[in-house]
Structures are given as C-alpha cells and as structure tokens.
Amino acid sequence: MIKQLLGEHKINENEVFNLLSSLSETGAEYSDLYFQHSVAESWVLDEGIVKDGSYNISHGVGARCVSGDKTGFSYSDDLNIKAIKGAVDFAKGISNSNSSKDPEILKTINYPTKYAALSPLDSLTSKEKVDLLREINSIARKEPKVVQVSASLSGAYTEVLIASTDGVYQIDCRPMVRVSVTVIVEHNGRIEQASSGGGGRYDYGYFASNSLAETYTKEALRLAFVALESKDAPAGKMPVILGSGWPGVLLHEAIGHGLEGDFNRKGSSVFSGKIGEKIASDKCTIVDNGTIANRRGSLTIDDEGTPTQETTLIEDGILKGYMMDKMNGRLMNKPSTGNGRRESYAHIPMPRMTNTYMLNGKDHFEDMVSSVEDGIYAKNFDGGQVDITSGKFVFNCTEAYEIINGKIGSPIKGATLIGDGPSSLKEILMVGNDMMLDPGIGTCGKAGQGVPVGVGQPSLLINNMTVGGTQL
C-alpha cells in the first residue's frame, strides 16, 4: 500500500534518493525519511450492545536531519512531492555546515520476517467481530455475581518505508490485534472490577483458534472474585515473591528505561558508566529481544531500518550493554541494537525497548514460598511510577496474597511495592524456572510517545522490599 500511495504521487526510489540528497546538502551527519500508511479499527461492546467503534486511515512522512546531538525534524500528513519537499527543507535547517555529503546508494535487505504481512482487519467479517465480543459477554453473564461486562476488539495494519543516507531502503508491514475484557462483580454489597486480555502481531483468527475469548473472560472473572475475598494488605519491609509474566513490567519500568542509550549518553541514568560492573544478583540475566515471532513488542526492523536482535543487558548480574538507536550509538561509539523506535511518522525515533525480560533461573516456585515465613506474593500488577535518574519506583498490586509460615494465604488488597531498581536487583534471592511473557497488552510511554512492548520474567523472590499497605 505504501509503495502504491507513493507511486500515485510519482515518488519512486530515485525520487526518494533525491530527497535524501537534499537533506544532506547542509552537511548533516545522518538523515532519513520515514513514510507510513496505517489503517486501524476498534469495536466496543458494553452491556451486550455495540456502543462505540472507529475506523481510521492515516499516512504521512517524517524527515529528519542529525548533526552531533542536534536533530532537525519535520513531518507532513500529505504525500505529494511539494509537501514532502517542504518538510525536507524545514528539517535540514538545523545544520551549521556548508559542506555537502552525498547519501549512500540505497539498498534493500531481505531480513527474516517476524510476522505475516497481512492486514488483520480483513480476517473476520464485521458480524464475526461483533460475535466474538458477544461471546465474551455471554460467558461472563453466566456468573450471577457479574453486574457489568465490557469488551473491546482492536486491530491495525501499518506499512512503513524507511530510507536513510547510510543506504537503508526498507519496507515493513506490521499487523497488530488486541482483545480486552472488563467485568464488574458484586457480592453482599461489595463491588470489585477486574480486566484481562491479550494480543500480538496476528490476525483476528488468533483469538478464535486458541479459544482466547473464553480464556480472557475467565481470567477477568477469576481476578474479580479474588478481589471480592481480599483483605487489607500489611505494611513494612518483608520478602516479596513476584509472579511470572506480566510482573516483568516492574523490570521494564524500574530497570529497562535506565538501560536505554539516550539516558546513559547524557549520564542521567543510575546505570550510566557502569558497563562491566556487577549491578545485580548473579542469578539475574536480562535481555531485550525484538525477534520473537508475532509478539506485540517484536519488529522485523526498527524505525530506522535496523534489524532487531536479542541484546543482553545484564548477564549473571554484570551490566553488559545498553539499548541503542543510530544517533546515540554513533555518539557513544556503539552500533545500533535495533532499538530505534517512534510512535508514528509525526515523531522522532529514540532508544526504546521491544520485549524485555529476565531469563529462567533454577529455583522452584514452591521452594520460594516455603522459604518465606512472613511476606507477600505479588502475582499481578497494574501501572506504577518510576524515576529514571534514581530508579525509584512505586507499583500497585492488582492480585496479591499473604504468605505465612511458608504457605500462601488469603488474598490482600491495596498493596504497593516501593523501592528502587538497583537495590531490588541486588536483593533477588531466588529466580524461578517458570519464565513467562505477558499476554500481549503492554504499551510503553516515553517523551510523550507510546509504542507496543512486551515484558516477562520468571517468579522472583526479593528480600527486604518495602510494602505499602492499608492494614491498621
């Protein structure tokens, strides 16, 4: 589609090369063009009725010129040549050099794809999409305690063309789907709410073929029923077991952002200048991996045309490297790791995570529990707050349980985890052999941009963590 759109405006590879040449006229060290065409839809079913829906088509181009640590950027939501040239002229105005540097010959490399280049929007009819949501409603309504059900289905298909002065000329076709379920339950005057869902770079058939409508709905119900039985959480310093899978969002926020190249180049991360140093328990190995097939955070190429890879960030507790885009990599004399990402053509790329997770350890979950006399098991989280400079964080537990005398006890509510990433890494006593990735729900925010990501981890036992509770 993106080539067709450009063809309608008589923009071919030669014209793209000419545009890059224009961007380079004032001596920029690096320049690129990011063409994008996206189609997206959403369906929302509330109380058995389709109450909201949307269908959007967008396209445009971003032009960028980089000189040292300065960036000139402009974009156009019109793909005619006049508009693109206007964006190019604006972007190249940052350079203070009169020298000219010709772009390299453009070339395309056929990298192994991580997902099918097919639009998921066409994989089901409108009726089948609504039927999927109604199935969720029907399953949830079988429970008498359920008083409200909301379900949503969303899909998008994006094509990008990336061309740059270092010879990149790459197209990537990116599908994305997601289903979300929210239920409200009531029992004896107490009301609780819970949500579940998932997705990835699939078509809608992924949900039907794996019976995921039922899986997500039952998980939302389970979480809501657990909440109905919960009691106030304790407070104080205690051992905490983090669940496998989605709780990896704590690693993402409290540690992952601090390992992105821009923060470390500027020296604003708590991990700046610590390559080769021991920063965590020797049980910890953490990677960022954008190559996992069909995962929400995966990409065949990043938004600068660099193939994604598996990057070891921490190995056996030793800091091994940072996540890099082209600009920060060049300024730090490091290659890009395929982590240059942007929300859209209207945003500049920056170092961002893809799928970030801790590798399996050798410990068994049961042994973790039996080793704790008085603590909590934090099985699920929602969002939190993190300070990148210090690594300090606060996370809210959506599903947690007390641990008493080596056994999991009653569910608790209102528990928050308080600490800082560097200290928590050093306090990890046990790492489970049950590593899981999240179900495909993560969106990461940074500098006003949101991009899809994945997280994951095995179960972790962390000593001496501060728990904020509501128990008097």
What six digits make up the tokens of 146?
A: 């359920």
Question: How high is the mean pLDDT of the chain?
Answer: 94
Strand order across the 70-76 sheet: 70-76, 49-67, 30-46, 146-164, 169-187, 190-200
SS3 19: helix
Q: Determine phi and psi for 292, rounding to 5 degrees.
A: -75, 125
Of residues 158, 179, 205, the one with CA closest to residue 42? 179
Instruction: Give residue 322's pLDDT band: very low, low, confident or very high (50, 70, 90).
Output: very high
Give me the domains of the chain, ranges plus CATH numbers.
Answer: 2-228 (3.30.2290.10), 232-468 (no CATH)
| pLDDT greater than 80 at residue 107 | yes
Reported confidence tier of residue 355, pLDDT bands at 50, 70, 90 = very high
| Residue closest to 328 by CA, chosen among 344, 300, 348 | 348
Does pLDDT of 96 surpass 80? Answer: no
For the residues 42-51, what does the mean pLDDT come to? 94
Determine contact, residues 357/454, Cβ cutoff 8 Å: yes
Taking residues 337-344, report their average pLDDT. 98
**Any idea which residue has 């967008």 for tokens?**
58
What is the distance between the alpha carbons of residues 288 and 317, in angstroms, rounded to a whole number? 15
DSSP 49-100: EEEEEEEEEEEEEEEEEEETTEEEEEEES--SHHHHHHHHHHHGGG------
Q: How far is CA 210 from CA 200, 293, 419, in A?
A: 13, 17, 38
406-431 average pLDDT score: 94
CB atoms within 10 A of CB 8: 10
pLDDT of residue 386: 81
Q: Of 359, 364, 350, nearest to 322 (Cα)?
A: 350
**Is residue 40 pLDDT above 90, yes or no?**
yes
Where is average pLDDT lowest: 140-154, 178-192, 389-403?
389-403
Cβ(468)–Cβ(415) below 8 Å: yes
Residue of 158, 157, 149, 261 lying closest to 194 (CA atoms): 149
Predicted confidence band of residue 437 (pLDDT cuts 50, 70, 90): very high
For the ranges 2-11, 89-98, 157-166, which has the lowest average pLDDT? 89-98
Q: Return the pLDDT at 98.
A: 61
Q: Which residues of 100-121 are buried (b: 16+ CB within 10 A; e: fewer)?
A: ebebeebeeeeeeebbeeebbb
Mean pLDDT over 202-207 rounds to: 96
Q: What is the DSSP letter of 356?
A: E
Contact (CB, 8 A) for 353 and 444 = yes
CB atoms within 10 A of CB 55: 10
